[in-house]
Structures are given as structure tokens and as C-alpha cells.
Amino acid sequence: MLPAMAPRGSKHTPSLPKQAMQLAALPTISHELRLLTEGAQRCLHDARAALASHCDDEAAERLDVAARALERMALLAEAVAHGRAAAVETCSIVEAIHHTAAALLPEAREAGVELLVECSPRLILTQAGPVYAVVANTLRNALEATPPGGRVLLVAELATPPTGGPLVEIDVLDDGPGLTIPPEQALAPGVTTKPGASGLGLALCVQIVRELGGVFEIGPRADGRHGAHVRVRYPACSVVNAAA
């Protein structure tokens, strides 16, 4: 027996909940994203080749950053298509940090915020894995919180504790107003103090770092300055296992 038709003008409730319909659409969206990014990558490659003959190094560098961002988008689309929570990068954590900073640099300049990055050369052989998303979310939040004239500093180091294996340590400090809610609340899914934001960024960071056997913490700066301090610590070997 066919289901009864809803009267014209009445509100029709779909057979699938809204969330289920959105999830069902993800593979299609992912496929379209991959097509768009592949086309954009080809255009950037052609533009890069054309610029090479004019020796415009600054423009070429900007194109390289854009091309790397598109590569990241392609990885994200693939992750969505396969139901993974995060895209796994095979580059080093140093490369991932520097690319993220380069991609955010125009935004930082426009906002009048100084963006500084210090990475230990000891991290050059440590893969980024899924931590790219953690770096990107943390840096963007710090930039958005910092007023004009302020500074955002990221320091990445490979720590060697007395016991256990080496740890990747990433500290992000900003000159913003600091936390206005308790740290545990700031890291909860769906909680945000920014209008129009989803409140999922930091919660995703916590999930990724925990799955690597690490810790994601946020709190006030300990150097007496206004602002927030985010610290990420996880075993360096866990990224290799996550990428396997």
C-alpha cells in the first residue's frame, strides 16, 4: 500500500531525519570537492610554470601556498568519502606548521597581528599525520582572539622525557583576552564564545590528540601577559601508527 500524500501546502516531514540526510550527502559533496580541487590544482600548476619565466618569486611562493592548500582540501575530501574523522598527512609536522602559518599570514597581516613560528629541527623527521587539523584550528582561533598590534606565537619541540619515548610538544600563545569560560567547557563539543561558530574545532582537536595518546590543554598564559595558552603533547611514534 502506498503511503498517503501530504495535502498541498502542508509541511511534509522527510522519511530520513535531517542529520541522516546530511550524512548521506557527504559522499556526493566529497566527490565534487575532489573534482574542483583537481581542476584548481591544474590551473595553479600552469600559472606557476608561466610565472617561472618572469622570475616573480613572491607571486610564485603565494601560488605554492595555494597549491598546498588545495592538496589539503583534496585529502579532506578523501577522508570524508571514506568516513574518516581527519585527513592523514605524510609530510613532516614542521612542513605542516609552516604551511598553515603561510596560509594564515595574509589574514594575520590584514588583522594587524604578528604571527611567529619556531620549530625545532629535531622534528623534521616526525610525520604530521592527523595533527595538521590541530595546528590549523589552534592557530586560527589564536589569530581571531588577538587584537591589532598583538602577537601569536607557535613553538614546536621534540621533548625527551626521562621515561618513555619522545614527545611532540606544540605551544600556541596569543595576546587575546584569554578564556572567558572554564577550560573544560571551552573544549566541549558545541560550546563557543564566537557568534556564528559551531564550537566543533577545539573538540575535534581534543579527539585527534587523545586518539594519538596525547593531551590537549588550554588555559591562561603563565608569563603574566593577557591571552590564552594552548599546549599539545603526544608521543611522536603514535603518528606513524595512525598513518599506517
In a domain, 152, yes or no: yes
Domain containing 182 — which CATH number? 3.30.565.10
Q: Which domain holds residue 74?
A: 19-81
Q: Is the pTM of this model over 0.75?
A: no
Domain total of the chain: 2
Residue 130 shares a structural domain with residue 111: yes
Residue 29 sits in the same domain as residue 113: no
Overall average pLDDT of the 202-219 stretch? 91
Same domain, yes or no: 62 and 101: no
pLDDT on residue 12: 42
**Where among 34, 58, 81 does a domain terminate?**
81
Specify whether 193 is located in the same domain as 129. Answer: yes
Average pLDDT of the residues in 191-201:
67
173 vs 73: which has the higher pLDDT: 173
Sorted by sequence, the CB contacts under 8 Å of residue 216 that are 6+ apart come out as 134, 187, 202, 205, 206, 209, 210, 230, 231, 232
**To the nearest whole number, what is the mean pLDDT of the chain?**
79
Q: What is the pLDDT of residues 101-142, one digit of tens each?
A: 988 888 898 899 999 999 999 999 899 888 988 998 899 999
Query: Quick one: 162 and 60 in the same domain?
Result: no
Residues 77 and 94 reside in one and the same domain: no
Q: Which one of 34, 52, 81 terminates a domain?
A: 81
Residue-wise burial string across 142-156, b where 16 or more C-beta atoms lie within 10 A, e elsewhere = bbebbeeebbbbbeb
Instruction: Please report whether residue 9 resides in a domain.
Output: no
All residues at 6 or more sequence positions from 222 whose CB lies less than 8 Å from its CB, including other chains: 229
Looking at the domain assignment, is residue 3 inside a domain? no
Mark whether 134 and 188 lie in a shared domain: yes
**51 and 115 together in one domain:** no
Same domain, 61 and 128: no
Counting residues of the chain whose pLDDT is more than 70, the rounded percentage is 69
What's at 243, amino acid-wise? A
- 107-111, 183-187, 194-198, 201-205: least confident range: 194-198
pLDDT of amino acid 15: 43
Does the pLDDT of residue 188 top 70, yes or no? yes
Q: Is residue 189 part of a domain?
A: yes
More confident residue, 50 or 140: 140
Are 66 and 113 members of one domain? no
Q: Is 100 among the domain residues?
A: yes
The answer to whether residue 11 sits within a structural domain is no
Residue with cell 618513555: 164
With respect to residue 219, please indicate whether it lies within any of the assigned structural domains: yes
More confident residue, 131 or 73: 131
Residue 1, pLDDT > 70, answer no
Same-domain check for residues 212 and 150: yes
* Any domain includes 12: no
Whether 157 and 193 map to the same domain: the answer is yes
